[in-house]
Every structure is written in structure tokens, then in C-alpha cells.
Structure 1
Amino acid sequence: MDFPTNSPDDGPVDTTLGEQLLLLSLDDESGAEKESANVAFAIAAASLVELAVAGRVEVAGDQVTVLDATPLGDPVLDTALADIDGWKKSRPRKTKEWIEHLKGGAVAGTTKNLVAKGLVREETKRVLGLFPVTRFPEADGSAEDVLRRRLDAVVMRGETADERTASLVALLHGAKLHGLLYKKPELATAKTNMEKIAHGEWAAPAVRQAVKAAEDALMTIVVVTTVTTVM
């Protein structure tokens, strides 16, 4: 299954929603990740949205239900699908709990995918000559350039969002990652526009339902994480 970020004329590299989130968060030069905690949760939520779009799961309110356990051919999504399908405990996990559970593997797998696709490269350096730190600077900026142009057209110029772009906007909004796209003075306008897009009628009900559930769960997680960090 393909997960296109762009039209066929824009370039050959396709990326998932999770990969798009990670690309937006990585500093092109240093490879350091911005807003890493929120991005991790957003990437996990993106896995649920991708599975819903592909008809593999239904995400309704607090529940995630497997409809079809057939793998999609993407390592991150297939691992998430198998994990959800294999959950046989008496109490089902809520959407928020699945996002929290999946985030570690989703981030690691998504990073590996970006390296394999040649969009970032892996570099390990030692801080103070002692501590190894791995970063992922940009190797090919074409996919991110196309992505940012399309997001800007939808968010700031009012162009109609397709299903995947609107899903990405909703995930960014839910995880409070507006700053990955805009700074002041555009930031306030961007937040307002992104909220409108996130809550618009841009996809089939089942997909909108999944995105809304993921967005609501992200907002709850981010608030709790922020309060805990401050305390």
C-alpha cells in the first residue's frame, strides 16, 4: 500500500503521516528533534489514523477495534496492527492508552524508515568527548519541501485539504505542534486555521471519527505531560 505525501509529479518518495511528522520536527542541519515528547505521541496517533484510513482498524471514541489484520507492508504500521490484534486481555485499551503504548516503537521504526528512504542520515557524535548522541540531519529535503508547501497552501492560503493533509493538520493541532510550521506573528492565525481544518468535513465519517479520537487523546496526553513536566 502506498502512503503518498504528494502528487506523482512532485517526486518519487512516499511517506506515512508519522514520517511526515518526524520530518517536520527534525532540524535540517543538526538532526536534533524539536518538541520530541509531543512528536512521539503524535507519531503513535498517526499509526492509528493510517490503520483506520486503510480499513484495518476502527477508532471510535475510546475504543480501537481490528477490522482486518492483513499486513500493509509498512513495518511500523504492521507492528502496531499486530500488537492491537494480539491484545487479548479482559479489559480493552482505550485510544489514549494505545497511543501511549505504541509511541516508543513507532518513533524508532519511523526514524529507521526515513533513513532507509534516504530522507535523513544517521550520525553519532560524542558530547564532551564522552557521551554518544545520535542525530538525523536531512539527506534529501525534497519530500519535506513538498510537504511544507502543501501545508502552507491549506493552512494559510485556504486551499482545500485532501484527506491525508487534513489528517496531518489534525494531528499537529492535537499535539500542539503548530510551532513546527509557524512562528510569530503567523502562529496565532495558523492555530485558528488548523483547528477549523481539523474539525471540518473533509473525509468519510469513519476516517474523521478516527482522526477526532486521536486528536482528543493527544490533547489529553499533551496537557498531562505538560503539567507533569512543569511540576
Structure 2
Amino acid sequence: MSLRFAEEIILLALDDQSGKLRPLPDRALELAVAGGLLMELAFANRIDTDQKQLTILDRSPTGDTVLDSVLQTLPEGDTSTIRQAISRVAADAPDFKDKILKSLVEKGILNREEHRFFFVLKERRYPMVDDREEKEVISRIRDVVIDGAIPDPKDVVLICLMNACDLSSAVFSDDELEQHSDRINQVARMDFIGQALAKAIAEIQEAILETISYMGM
């Protein structure tokens, strides 16, 4: 079963035991989802980037309702900075995230549970129904990082987003991360578009942290 980058990111972000999303830095998941969706548009030849600029090559529908919504979210005109594009898509990431979770439920990978208190929705959980897809994603990443397998272009993108958004602990132990950090960074630099997106994500996260620190003074 073929999954979107953003679907694979969501599977990594979910805690298998609780069915809840793992605690991550502020907006890390939204930025990872935004990056994954933009990479899907790049693979569909709808956008291209250099280190600073994102160029829209084709605004025609992709046939994927989520990706078409992302394409409409991008600023009007042919070009924008990567940071602007990431920020625009990330602003709607909660809605995209819900649609991605729904698609994983429809594919039979997750189940949706609603926990209510006095008839008021308290939280939704998404326990795993079939963990084969998640195991396959993790196995691909570990093969590339630990066993030195030649990475598929899509695996490079996934590792790039995983590294940029602090999801590596979902795949590796602390000892493995310490031992293989150079390899993770090496693979993350292999994709030019992914590298540019990761740089923009890091800049946005740094700005968020600076804002939080300033407000806490």
C-alpha cells in the first residue's frame, strides 16, 4: 500500500500504546506534515525549489484532494520563499492532519476512538489496527541508517523530515541516535528540495522558540 509522506510522518508521530500523538516541540508535527505535503507536490512535478525559493510549475489538479488543497494554499504568483510556503501550509496543517488521519482509518491502518466526559468530547485517539505499514516505514529507515542500504529518493525525504522535526526517537534508541547521527545527517543532505524544506522548518522553529523565550521573560 502506497502512503503519502505525511501519512508516514503521522504513523511515526503516533504512540502505539496510547493511540495519541507523541509530545513534540511546538508546531513540529504541523511543520513536518506541511513539509511532507510539499514534497508530494514536488514529486508530482507541481513545484520546484532552490535553497531559498519555491516555484510553482503547474497548478492543475493532481487528483488527490489533500494535495490539491495544499496547492491552492500556496501564495498566488509563480514564486515565493520556501519559508513563506511552509508557513502557509502549516497554518492549515491541523485540518490536513485530520484528513490524513481519516485516510489512515479508511485504509484500515488506524482505528478512531472518541473519549467523552459528560457527553463532551475530551480527546480522540487513533490506536493501531494494522501495524504492518508502520513497521515497513521504520524498517526502511533503519535499513538506510544502520545497515547502510542505498536509500530510495522517498526514503531520503522521509529521513530528512524525521530529522528536522524531532521524530528520530520514534525509530531509534538514544544509543542508536548517538552512534548513527552522522549517517542520519548525511542522508538528510542527499535531497536538495528536502534539505531546503528542512532549513526553512528549522528557521521557523527557532523563531517560535525565540518568541516563547521573549514572552516568558
TM range (shorter): 0.7 to 0.9
Partner of 1:28: 16
Cα displacement (A) at 1:93: 4.1
| Conservation of the 8 A alpha-carbon contact between 1:48 and 1:59 | no
Unaligned runs of 5+ in 1: 1-12, 201-207
Q: Choose the corresponding residue for 1:100, options 66, 87, 107.
A: 87
Counterpart mapping for 1:128-143 below 5 A: 132-143=122-133
Partner of 2:164: 174
The answer to whether 1:17 aligns with 2:43 is no
Give, in whole Å, the separation in 2 of the partners of 1:22 and 1:223: 22
Partner of 2:55: 65
RMSD: 2.2
Give, in whole Å, the separation in 1 of the partners of 2:170 and 2:156: 16
Give, in whole Å, the separation in 2 of the partners of 1:139 and 1:219: 33
TM-score, normalised relative to structure 1: 0.82
Give, in whole Å, the separation in 2 of the partners of 1:196 and 1:159: 13
Give, in whole Å, the separation in 2 of the partners of 1:168 and 1:55: 18
| Conservation of the 8 A alpha-carbon contact between 2:114 and 2:121 | no
| Conservation of the 8 A alpha-carbon contact between 1:35 and 1:177 | no
SS across alignment from 2:87:
helix
Give, in whole Å, the separation in 2 of the partners of 1:226 and 1:182: 25
Which of 41-50 and 181-190 deviates more? 181-190
Give, in whole Å, the separation in 2 of the partners of 1:156 and 1:128: 48
Partner of 2:206: 223
Partner of 1:112: 102
| Conservation of the 8 A alpha-carbon contact between 1:173 and 1:191 | no
| Conservation of the 8 A alpha-carbon contact between 1:154 and 1:161 | yes
SS across alignment from 2:159:
helix
Give, in whole Å, the separation in 1 of the partners of 2:98 and 2:121: 20
Partner of 2:145: 155
| Conservation of the 8 A alpha-carbon contact between 1:178 and 1:191 | no
Cα displacement (A) at 1:217: 0.7
Counterpart mapping for 1:196-211 below 5 A: 196-200=186-190, 208-211=191-194
Q: When the two structures are aligned, how many residues end up with a matched partner? A: 209
Amino acid aligned to 2:145:
V
Give, in whole Å, the separation in 2 of the partners of 1:96 and 1:112: 28
Give, in whole Å, the separation in 2 of the partners of 1:69 and 1:92: 12
Amino acid aligned to 1:94:
T
Give, in whole Å, the separation in 2 of the partners of 1:128 and 1:148: 39
Give, in whole Å, the separation in 1 of the partners of 2:63 and 2:23: 29
Distance 1:83 1:180, change over 3 A: same
SS across alignment from 1:58:
strand
Cα displacement (A) at 1:146: 0.8
Which of 40-49 and 30-39 deviates more? 30-39
Unaligned runs of 5+ in 2: none
Give, in whole Å, the separation in 1 of the partners of 2:61 and 2:187: 30
